[in-house]
Amino acid sequence: MRFAFVASNTRVAEQARCKLVERYGDTPAEQAELIVALGGDGFMLRTLHAHRELEVPVYGMKLGQVGFLMNKYQLDALPERIDRAHVASLFPLQMEVTDAAGAQHVALAFNEVSLLRQSNQAAHLEVQLNDTVKLANLVCDGLMVATPAGSTAYNLSAHGPILPLDANVLALTPISPFRPRRWRGAILPHRTEVILRVLDPGKRPVSATADFHEVRDVRTVAICQSGAHGIRLLFDPEHNLEQRILDEQFAAE
- Distance separating alpha carbons of residues 253 and 209, to the nearest angstrom: 28
User: Roughly how many angstroms between the first and final C-alpha of the chain, as a whole number?
Assistant: 39
Residues 103 and 219 placed together within one structural domain of the fold: yes
Residues 111 and 189 placed together within one structural domain of the fold: yes
Per-residue model confidence as pLDDT tens for the chain (253 residues):
899 999 999 999 999 999 999 999 999 999 999 999 999 989 999 999 999 999 999 999 999 776 788 999 999 999 999 999 999 889 999 999 999 999 999 999 999 999 999 999 999 999 999 989 999 999 999 999 999 989 988 999 999 998 988 889 999 999 999 999 889 999 999 999 999 999 999 999 999 999 999 999 999 999 999 988 889 999 998 777 777 777 777 765 5
Residues 86, 98 contacting (CB under 8 angstroms): no
Q: What is the CATH number of the domain that holds 35?
A: 3.40.50.10330
Q: What is the pLDDT of residue 34?
A: 97
The alpha-helical segments, DSSP class H, found in the chain are 11-24, 41-51, 78-84, 154-157, 241-248
Residues 36, 4 contacting (CB under 8 angstroms): yes
Does the residue 82 lie in any domain? yes
The catalytically annotated residue of 26, 41, 131, 217 is 41
Q: What is the pLDDT of residue 223?
A: 98
Known catalytic residue: 41? yes
Residues 208, 115 contacting (CB under 8 angstroms): yes
In which domain, by residue range, is 163 found?
A: 93-225
Residues 98 and 182 placed together within one structural domain of the fold: yes
Residues 101 and 78 placed together within one structural domain of the fold: no
Residues 31, 2 contacting (CB under 8 angstroms): yes
- Distance separating alpha carbons of residues 177 and 159, to the nearest angstrom: 11
Identify the CA nearest to 93 among candidates 199, 194, 182. Answer: 194
